[in-house]
Structure 1
């Protein structure tokens, strides 16, 4: 299959996970940062999922799957170890609902890439199922290179970009200033949490553009 890579805004949308095991837990953890309305349908769940239920981060329907469980769902995950249940989920899913079966049998509208998330900075890797091992390897390499310091760095870049766009009127000066935000020195200061130097750098860009 040739999948089309896309990022979806599913904030406050209903997402149903049918299954309560290890794979369901993985899907749940990947979904948590999206602020989706997550519902798990399963007569049993893992201890880790139970913690999220207790924290109010997910709704658990302690029951066998029924077609009505999919009402108004935008995304559906069929992740049980029972093929007949996954088949029932597929049969109940409407054509406009996006469905993913963990067993890769039947209808698979989408797959989940491996994700490295650093705030607004999101990197995804997929081999379309050809080599999960290679996907994990590359993800680990990305996690090591783009560590937690990138959360604050990306936030800084977002604010600096906004200031430059709002302040500098000349389009060429604006273009040059935005390009200057990728100066390796800025990235190094951000890793060292030297925000005073980062902010001074941006102010110099803005002030210099004003004087042109």
Structure 2
């Protein structure tokens, strides 16, 4: 199997997490941040999930798994401590669903790489299941390099790209600028402000 990295919009999707331990809690946090509607199926919850259940952060079905629990799910997370149960969950998942077996990613069609975000910048690292700890280590190292200054820089690049789409810039000029903006000098706030001012004046017809 060859995994293809993609970015997925889960806002408003129906997600079901089966399991009530640490892994289930991690998956829930990620799904919640993505804007999914989450149901957790488990007879018991750890302290973290129990606290969130009391806050009504998700729907809790206090029971063991049954196929009916995931019939309408867009995302299915098998995160129990029983490999046979996880395999059964995967087998009964809807054909349309994204499915993750937390104990054996190769059983499903969805894997969660180690990743970090700094504003619009998102970097993920995967070892295809060989060593999640190594993936986390590499992600942490990259996070130290791509700090909050990069988040501001990426916001700047986004704003520039939107301005360069205006008809005042030809396709060739747009391409030239997008390449030029990757230079070291444009990571400095004063250079960014100068560039944005130039783009705005060009659009308003006042640039010389």
Q: Given the two structures, how large is their TM-score scaled by the length of structure 2?
A: 0.85
Contact kept, 8 Å, 2:10 with 2:31, in 1: the verdict is no
Q: Structure 1 pair 183/168, CA: closer, same or farther in 2 (3 Å)?
A: farther
The Cα of 1:168 is off from its aligned counterpart by 2.8
The structural deviation recorded for 1:100 is 1.7
Q: 1:54 to 1:199 in 2, by over 3 A?
A: farther
Could you say if the C-alpha distance between residues 131 and 165 of structure 1 is closer, same or farther in structure 2, counting changes exceeding 3 Å? same
Aligned-pair CA distance for 1:205: 4.5
* Map of 2:62 onto structure 1: 62
Does the 8 Å CA contact 2:43/2:62 hold for their aligned counterparts? Answer: yes
Secondary structure at the counterpart of residue 86 of structure 1: helix
RMSD: 2.5
Q: Is the 8 A contact 1:20 1:45 kept in 2?
A: yes
Per-residue CA deviations over 1:109-154 (Å, capped at 9, x if unaligned) read: 2221111112322111101012223212211111111123433332
* 1:117–1:105 CA distance, 2 compared to 1 (3 A): closer
Indicate how the Cα distance of structure 1 residues 179 and 40 shifts in structure 2: closer, same or farther if over 3 A, else same.
Answer: same
Q: Is the 8 A contact 1:20 1:44 kept in 2?
A: yes
Residue of structure 1 in register with 2:122 after alignment: 122
Partner of 1:81: 81
- Total equivalences in the alignment: 206
C-alpha separation in 2, matches of 1:177 and 1:16: 45
- Distance, in Å, in 2 between the alignment partners of 1:182 and 1:56 is 45
Measured after TM superposition, the shift of residue 156 of structure 1 is 2.7
Given that 2:153 and 2:187 are in contact with CA atoms closer than 8 Å, whether structure 1 keeps it comes out as: yes
Q: Is structure 2 residue 71 aligned with structure 1 residue 71?
A: yes
Once residues 114 and 105 of structure 2 are traced to their aligned partners in structure 1, the CA distance between those partners, rounded to angstroms, is 20
Report the secondary structure of 2:91's partner residue: helix
Q: Which runs of no fewer than 5 residues in structure 1 stay unpaired?
A: none
Equivalent position SS for 1:176: helix
Preserved contact between residue 14 and residue 73 of structure 2 (Cα < 8 Å): yes
Is the contact between residue 90 and residue 107 of structure 2 (CA under 8 Å) also seen in structure 1? yes
